Amino acid sequence: MSPHTVTNYQRDLKQLLAFCNQHDLAGWQVIKSSHIRQFIAQLHRQGLAGRSIQRSLSAVRSLYRFLIREGLAENNPAQAVQAPKVEKRLPSTLDVDQMNGLLEGTRQDSMIASRDRAMMELFYSSGLRLAELASLNIRDVDFGDHLVYVTGKGNKSRVVPVGKQAIKALQTWLTKRDDLNFFDQTALFITQQGKRLGVRSIQKRLSFWGKKQGISDHVHPHRLRHAFASHMLESSGDLRAVQELLGHADISTTQIYTHVDFQHLAKVYDMAHPRAKKK
């Protein structure tokens, strides 16, 4: 598990422990499904979002799987408890014109601008997550075959194509990067002080360029990843390919991240449905 996931699970289980202390539940063996339902209801009353409640329930189930394996519990009281349904919301995206304006408007006339343009081109070209891009090293980019080697969630690796414009922007950035003389630093994206650029700094840089280009909604790395997925799906209609490119283990996750515009849906319908086909 990633450190972020571990921290969240710790927080969830501390909440469970506090609940047990409030209700004089002195051991894991005495907790029943009714207690877990009370716990979930309490989280709901506290205003916790449905997705966070689902994660808390997942943490409790994982805990009990461990306890059963260690002989400290006989059954899993959280197994039969259902979390509240979560509304599937599509992340906001940028259309093709907005993306082109954002990228073309970021001129590569300085070291910082060159770096930022390369980052944004790579986000949009390859659909990388923020943490994936931040952890890239120079050797992870294959300039000959136009590929990037990515380590994603769960330490899973994948290889993703890199577009010509992104390759060109990366080469321009690396030329300017060499002028800084930090040849011992392996990170692909660095600060003027030669340190690896952190995730918070990347977020701030994208927000800066979004405001500079007059884009009303906040520009952040996930919006570029979502734009990549949306535009790829709208053009190809190949959900499986987009799933592979994004590094999703479950295709249902890809369906949440991506959307097909109505024009594309109507076209597919007209071509495929027997009663819609024109003679």
Clarify whether residues 113 and 221 are in a common domain: yes
| Claim to verify: residue 128 and residue 197 sit in the same structural domain | yes
Binned at pLDDT 50, 70 and 90, residue 122 comes out as very high
Considering the domain architecture, whether residues 121 and 58 belong to the same structural domain is answered as no
What's the pLDDT band for 84 if we cut at 50, 70, 90?
Answer: confident
Q: Are residues 48 and 147 in the same domain?
A: no
Residue 95's pLDDT is: 84
| Confidence bin at 236 (pLDDT 50/70/90) | confident
Nearest 5 degrees, angle CA 43-CA 3-CA 12? 15
Report yes or no on 79 lying in a domain: no
Mapped onto helix, strand or coil, the DSSP state of residue 24 is: coil
C-alpha of 99 from chain center: 19
Print the domain residue range for 62. 3-69
CATH code for the domain of 132: 1.10.443.10
- The residues that are catalytic are 129, 153, 222, 225, 248, 257
The reported pLDDT for the residue numbered 258 is 58
| 31 and 106 within one domain | no
Residues 149 and 188 both lie in one domain = yes
In a domain, 83, yes or no: no
146 and 100, same domain (yes or no): yes
Q: How many Cβ atoms sit within 10 Å of the Cβ of residue 82?
A: 9
- Residue 74 within a domain: no
Residues 56 and 122 in one domain: no
Residues 136, 248: one domain?
yes
Place 277 in a pLDDT band, splitting at 50, 70 and 90. Answer: low
One domain, residues 107 and 144: yes
What's the total number of domains in the chain?
Answer: 2
User: What is the reported pLDDT for 203?
Assistant: 96
SS3 213: coil
Whether 119 contacts 171, CB under 8 Å: no
Q: What is the CA radius of gyration of the chain?
A: 23
42 and 145 fall within a common domain:
no
The reply to whether 64 and 187 lie within a common domain is no
Number of Cβ within a 10 Å radius of residue 74: 10
| Whole-prediction pTM | 0.65
Residue 260 scores a pLDDT above 80: no
In a domain, 165, yes or no: yes
How far does Cα 77 stand from its chain's mean position?
31
